[in-house]
Amino acid sequence: MPQVARAPGRVNLIGDHTDYTGGLVMPMAIDRATTIEFEPSNDVRLTSGDFAGTVQFALPTSGSLASSNGFAPATVTPTWGRYVAGVVAAMIERGFSPRGFAGQVSTTVPIGGGLSSSAALEVAAALAFGIEADSATIAAVCRRAEHLATSVPCGIMDQLTSVAGVRDHALVIDCHSLDVTAVAMPESASVWVVPVSSRTLDGSEYPARVAQCAAAEAEVGPLRLADLAMVERIGDPVIRARARHVVSENQRVRDFATALSAGDLREAGRIMYEGHRSLRNDFATSTPSMDDAVEQLGKIRGVHGVRMTGGGFGGCVVVLADDDADVSAPLAGRLAGMRVRAADGASVSPRV
């Protein structure tokens, strides 16, 4: 019987570049998703109206490491198929037996916008391959898939949010324990995503930031346990700045969750602006166009906070506003927002 695997994208409200050090993040799954309509098959064959080309490959037959059998996800073409092939390899590494399928992929998640289009594809593919596991395991498999597909050392936030999303709630995720706490979004609030520029993490300085955080941890131990006094003892000023962002951002997640739970949008917005300044000044992942967007969008009536979201170096900004605010009209000729709502996580259902 034909089925549909659906996995949402995500927007991160606060807590950027903290996940790969086991810190805190606060994203929400959104009502933009990737779907795969599929039927059983002996191999893998995928077409799409949103991605160019056809993905087709045979499933590896056995082995603890798929790559040891000549299966190399990073060589699959077209390139979007590498994420699908990475899921196969990651499932086999974990002892799962992926089932072949033929399907059609479609997505409403903007590509290259910092809304985790790759994670949505990975999670949808894992469900289509028949994975049966808890949310943390599925997310770990899909995170490994991204590593195999792109060599980008991403954290687990994107995949776990896509799997574990809760409608009308944001999620506080401890990326060390993988504990997930749902926090209700205030009815008085709206969340908007505004595309500023496209970007790809594999060609950016993202891996360098991961390495810089590792260098900081070599001096002060896990950043998730560090405080600002410890950070100030780091000798290298660049490494110190990177660590200062991570430690302060973890606290911002806690404070933001408290403000959101209390319905205090003004305080939540203040924390968002503070987080953007940290990403700009200490972590150096913003861009002039992102900074300009934050300034311009902050002038709209009913907007409480704006910040870049995602890996940075381009992408989107996220806006927290009153429910009746309108961020959809183009601003400065280019900044047109789309409202997003917190959505449930990934699922598989019969095709209707």
DSSP state of 151: -
Strand arrangement, sheet containing 338-340: 303-309, 315-322, 189-197, 338-340
Cα–Cα distance measured from residue 311 to residue 76, given in angstroms and rounded to the nearest whole number: 24
| Among 16, 19, 158, 282, the one annotated catalytic | 158
Beta strands in the chain (DSSP E): 3-14, 24-40, 44-48, 55-57, 101-107, 169-174, 180-184, 189-197, 303-309, 315-322, 338-340, 347-350
Nearest CA to 156 out of 143, 144, 145, 147 is that of: 143
Structure token pair of residue 249: 């951002």
Cα–Cα distance measured from residue 52 to residue 80, given in angstroms and rounded to the nearest whole number: 8
- Per the listing, tokens 């776990």 go with 160
Establish how many alpha carbons lie within 13 A of residue 263's alpha carbon, considering only the half-sphere containing its beta carbon: 4
Cα–Cα distance measured from residue 79 to residue 128, given in angstroms and rounded to the nearest whole number: 19
The reply to whether 282 belongs to the active site is no
- Residue type (1 letter), 156: I
Cα–Cα distance measured from residue 311 to residue 10, given in angstroms and rounded to the nearest whole number: 12
* Residue numbers annotated as active site: 158
